[in-house]
Amino acid sequence: MEELCRVGAAAPLRGDVEEPKQGSVLFLGGNEVKSSAVVKYSSAPPQAAFARLQEKTDLKLPPANWLRESAKLGPAGTTILGNNKKSKPFSSFGMAYDFIDSVGNDVDVVSDSENIKKLLKIPYSKSHVSMAVHRIGRTLLLDELDIQELFMRSSQTGDWTWLKEFYQRLIDQKWQRKKKSKEHWYQKAILSKFLYYSINGDGAAQPVPSTSKQHQEGPVSGESDEAGRSSWPAPFEMPSSLSEDPGASNQGLKNDFVRNILWTFEDIHMLVGSNMPIFGGGRYPAVSLRLRDNNKPINVLTGIDYWLDNLICNVPELVMCFHVNGIVQKYEMIKTEDIPNLENSNFSTKVIKDIAQNILSFLKSNCTKEGHTYWLFKASGSDIVKLYDLTTLCEETEDKYQNPFTMPVAILLYKVACNMMLKKNQNKKHYGTIRTLLLNCLKLLDNGRHPQIIASANYMLSELFQLDEPKKEDSTDFPINGNSDESYSEEEEEMPDSDENGSYSNSSDPPDDNKAVAIIKSVGELSVPEKYKSVHRIRPSCAFPVCHGTEERCRLVLNYVLEGLKSVDSSVKKEGDLPAADPSTPIPLKYEDESTSGGPECLEKQMALFLDKMGSFQKGKHCSQSGMIPGSWQYKMKLQLILKSSKAYYVLSDAAMILQKYGRALRYIKLALQCHDTYCCLCASMLPEVLVFLCQCLTLCGDIQLMLAQNANNRAAYLEEYNYQTKEDQEILHSLHRESRCQVFAWATDLSTDLECQLSVSCKCYEAAYEILLFSNLKNQNPEQHIQVLKRMGNIRNEIGVFYMNQAAAVQTERLVSKNVSTTEQQLWKKSFSCFEEGIQNFESIDDATNAALLLCNTGRLMRICAQAHCATEGDFKREFSPEEALYYNKAVDYYLKALRSLGKRDVHPAVWDSVNWELSTTYFTMATLQQDYAPLSRKAQEQIEKEVSEAMKKSLKYCDVDTVSARQPLCQYRAATIHHRLASMYHSCLRNQVGDEHLRKQHRVLADLHYSKAVRLFQLLKDAPCEFLRVQLERVAFAEFQMASQNSSAGKLKTLFGALDIMVKAKGAFQLIRKELVAESEQKSKDKSSAENVSPNDSPTGLNKEEVLKLLSIFESRMSFLLLQSIKLLTSTKKKIGGINEEEVVLKTNKQVYSLLLRATANKSMTLLERIEVILNLLEQLAQNNEASHGGIQ
């Protein structure tokens, strides 16, 4: 039972008496001492009042109940001899195991109260001190190191000979065991009888026959002696159960104290074990009972002993029974706070406090290594206290297990770390502490003897490194304890002050003992306040290691996993037919090129086998080649270690993906899946989280294969990365191969050189992940994972569809002679279409409208490729727009419209919306252009074709957004301008060829003029289409000339002529752009003549087609010359008829002048293109001024 009651109560108190207050401050002799105690555990019965013995009671006579088990004295009543019971050598470990939460963190000292008292009496006592000290975190464990007992054992078994030799060489050369005095056993016996008398109900002595007395007294001494001996285990006598179950407590490490108390003395926190009997009675709820010889005054050592006992148990009062030669004389009550002021026993509590703080500071500064056994030793009669590191001394022998403390310390380190791991998520700052505890534990253990603890410790070490979240840089700032070293208060306590062990010779100490870690030169120094201060950092290596990257963190994890796997494998008996694995021989990572791999068809079979195996896992089939028994610790531990390694390799693969090291990423995901394969072989039932992790692995594998396919140029580098293997990876693989062939996922992780195969593998990985989610019913529990897998399936199907579509386009390009569509093309179309269709279904199932729209858009593009394949390959003069072309273009339009419906509105995804609109506009435009250029006159009337072209062009315009500012805006403007130009040309052509219906002719004339105007306006916005602008203007001039030919009046003709000349003047902007580009080209040539030699005569570096410019310029000069000549003729005839008009004369004069200059320029064949452009610009400038001046007159 555990009590968190107020101090002093060893058990629940009876009656209405006031409980002693916890944390009370005692004022003793003018010195203030703070002390409080909490009983953490008590096996003592409820306190009963002691029986006050009658005077003259003879304690030499044993009571009738002597040495019989008594509830009042607790379960140990048959052996307890008061508070002088001998301390067991591992008593602190028993307590530490029971109160594991306190070890390493809150408590400074764990020890028997006798040890603590013995330490605090060092300056007052001449008796020897011999204690073992161990550090666990910030906690010190103190145990008596009984040299007598050890050396007796050494004489019998040969153990500890190294320590015996060391002791004889440095401390006592003539050591021999000295028997305890008869007086010692006499005092022990009457104390025992006194206590048994005191628990008798009537308080009367009930002696037994004297023969029995002699019979009983012998075993008392013998029992005490034997108790000490039997408590020492052999150097390596840990029960086999411990190795099977690290949580099992060893019989030799049992916590057998009547009560465990958390005692705070000043700033020192101690977990203390006590067996002192506590009785009720008097004014206080608890008293301690003491027996004293009336002829011997109480000395300081006894006073300190009594005071500390009462302080530790928070007992407020002491009852002293005085006797003379065993005959009871009287009783006396003494308050605890009065004990330091007793006559002949006067001592300062302040000094005791200083001694405690100094001793613990001394130990704290020097017992710095976890797992080491330190020996605090003071010879009898000596003033010098020495501290030795027994572990270092023991290392000089062959076997570290010569030290019997090795195993208890290792187990305790392991237990403390386990306990802290349970709380690790609440307090990650303790990761450094846990790691150090485990590393120190591993240093003490032998793999052949403790494979389970070693495997478990390595697994815990690997668990400290978080693989599924980003490493926080500040995690390395936490030292092993949140407190500074100065906050450590580590106390050790000591045994009773009797000198029965004074058999150690009072030898002189060697002047310089170079084996000692530290020395207190005089015990008097311990009484000086703050003489010893802890100035050394306790464990400089306690900080959690700084991992500078994901790879380093994962490599540490894999290193610990490998050590754990080695421990597990070494403990499993090897089967006779299992070949011995040689860690130095690399395991080949299978590599096949496309010539040996079965391709996509083979993948289907492998996938089917894989899914069938996954189904068998659900049914609980499992098999281990190494002979591990399901349910054994090896089986459970190996499963955990394999899963951890799989996760580490997954994280490494993911990190390599981010760095675009795709070969390395594939190698790591291969290792992750091989680990998972082994896990599947061993595991009876797959946990949902493991299946989800498998989905993540397969998804990542699919991503990697896709990236390898998209980066085929670096294939050689990726292959080198893929085939590289570390020794650590090889050894882990060897451990995996003990259980499984690791080939279930080989289809997914081979590095192929065939693009189609890589894309197919990627797709199969995603499909496998999806299937696992489906048949494991994990879809609803992991909606995010489900959506991610479906997205990737849609994406990879789009990639494969595009791959087949591009292949079809390439086949089409190569098909020069045959006009028929090949079977290969048709097969590629079907494959591509099927992939797009499946991808669309994937995206629609998760309501991903944007990606569904993109795939519909790609399907539309496929339809356009099909249409292009059906165009006739004969000469263009015979070609007509075929019905097959029309069919596929209309299908393409349907898919683009579906894509727009899928998006709904532009706000959903503006970029995709604009892209689909552009593709739809392009499709309509292509259809219209092909119908216009290759009119199917054999099937349709001219009017119907014109109507269809007009409708298609208008629809193209509808989806061509010229107003929205974007990167595509200039393209849209150019497209719209081209559409208007084509429509204008069509109506212009209709007007030329049409006869009869005047209303229709007028309509066509208006439409042609309208579309020409719109085309001009749009081309003027563009700065990179001067030729197109010039061509439209020339067509407008031709349109004007056509109109003029049908006019009869001179005034009408003049008006049309001046309109045409005005159109020509407005073409000035196009010539300015051409001139600008020609000047830039000329400057570039002058800078770099060598580059000018490489420039084609028809193409400039600026992208200007000179041949086109020359052609258009010649037409422009011709039409300008014609218009000027006609204007001159008309103006001259008009002048003769109606007389002179000033404005017309000016116009005529200017036109003649311009005409003359133009004729000279065209006649000069030596002029360069740039010079001709300059002339035209000059002439247009004159005409422009002339037009402005005479505008009113002409009107």
> Whose structure tokens read 């390596």?
236
Q: What is the pLDDT of residues 958-997, one digit of tens each?
A: 888 888 888 888 888 888 888 988 888 888 888 887 766 7
- Note the helical H segments in 594-659: 599-618, 633-658
Dihedral sign, CA of 624, 625, 629, 632? Answer: negative
Measured distance CA(6)–CA(12) in Å, rounded: 10
pLDDT at 611: 58
1189: pLDDT strictly greater than 70:
no
Percent of the chain with pLDDT over 70: 75
> Whose structure tokens read 């390898």?
708
pLDDT at 1101: 52
Measured distance CA(889)–CA(866) in Å, rounded: 9
Q: What is the pLDDT of residues 58-74, one digit of tens each?
A: 888 888 878 776 666 65
Q: Are 1071 and 1173 in contact (CB under 8 A)?
A: yes
893: pLDDT strictly greater than 80:
yes
pLDDT at 1190: 56
Q: Are 66 and 381 in contact (CB under 8 A)?
A: no
Measured distance CA(693)–CA(679) in Å, rounded: 12
Q: At what angle do helices 823-845 and 783-814 cross, to 10 degrees?
A: 160
pLDDT higher at 394 or 1141 = 394
pLDDT at 213: 36
- Cβ atoms < 10 Å from Cβ of 478: 18
Q: What is the pLDDT of residues 999-1008, one digit of tens each?
A: 888 888 888 8
Q: What is the pLDDT of residues 678-721, one digit of tens each?
A: 888 888 777 888 888 999 999 999 999 999 999 888 888 999 99
User: Residue 1028: is it exposed, middle or buried by C-beta count within 10 angstroms (0-12/13-18/19+)?
Assistant: buried
pLDDT at 167: 76
The conformational region for residue 160 under phi > 0 = left, psi -120 to 50 = alpha, else beta, is left
794: pLDDT strictly greater than 80:
yes
Task: Give the residue among 748, 564, 726 at the shortest CA–CA distance from 643.
Answer: 564
pLDDT at 110: 92
Q: Determine the Cα angle at 1102 with ends 1101 and 1106, to 5°.
A: 85
> Whose structure tokens read 């916890």?
22
Q: What is the pLDDT of residues 499-519, one digit of tens each?
A: 333 333 334 444 446 777 788
Interstrand relation of 317-324 and 327-335 (parallel, antiparallel or unpaired): antiparallel
Coil, strand, or helix at residue 527?
A: helix
Measured distance CA(862)–CA(720) in Å, rounded: 37
pLDDT at 615: 52
Average pLDDT, the chain: 76
pLDDT at 84: 42
Measured distance CA(284)–CA(307) in Å, rounded: 16
pLDDT at 1071: 84
Q: How far is CA 421 from the centre of its chain?
A: 18
Range 231-237, long-range pairs (CB < 8 A, 24+ positions) = 231/88, 231/89, 231/90, 232/89, 232/146, 232/149, 232/150, 232/153, 232/404, 233/404, 234/157, 234/159, 234/404, 235/159, 235/160, 235/399, 235/401, 235/402, 235/403, 235/404, 235/406, 236/401, 236/407, 236/449
Measured distance CA(308)–CA(326) in Å, rounded: 26
pLDDT at 133: 92
Measured distance CA(708)–CA(757) in Å, rounded: 11
Highest mean predicted confidence (pLDDT) among 87-96, 111-120, 444-453: 111-120
Where does the pLDDT of residue 544 fall: very low under 50, low under 70, confident under 90, or very high at 90 and above?
A: low
pLDDT at 1170: 82
- Cβ atoms < 10 Å from Cβ of 22: 17
Where does the pLDDT of residue 547 fall: very low under 50, low under 70, confident under 90, or very high at 90 and above?
A: low
Compute the average pLDDT of residues 721-737.
Answer: 91
Task: Give the residue among 629, 752, 630 at the shortest CA–CA distance from 701.
Answer: 752
Q: What is the pLDDT of residues 557-592, one digit of tens each?
A: 999 999 999 998 888 864 434 445 555 555 554 444
Cβ neighbours of residue 184 under 8 Å, at least 6 residues apart? Answer: 498, 500
Q: Which residues pair with 41 in a beta bridge?
A: 260
1140: pLDDT strictly greater than 70:
no
Measured distance CA(413)–CA(700) in Å, rounded: 39
Highest mean predicted confidence (pLDDT) among 21-35, 820-834, 1074-1088: 820-834
Q: What is the pLDDT of residues 308-318, one digit of tens each?
A: 999 998 888 88
Task: Give the residue among 768, 731, 740, 745 at the shortest CA–CA distance from 673.
Answer: 745
Coil, strand, or helix at residue 733?
A: helix
The DSSP symbol for 429 reads: G
pLDDT higher at 374 or 281 = 374
Where does the pLDDT of residue 1135 fall: very low under 50, low under 70, confident under 90, or very high at 90 and above?
A: low
pLDDT at 714: 87
Compute the average pLDDT of residues 137-161.
Answer: 77
Where does the pLDDT of residue 817 fall: very low under 50, low under 70, confident under 90, or very high at 90 and above?
A: low
80: pLDDT strictly greater than 50:
no
Measured distance CA(435)–CA(923) in Å, rounded: 67
Where does the pLDDT of residue 494 fall: very low under 50, low under 70, confident under 90, or very high at 90 and above?
A: very low
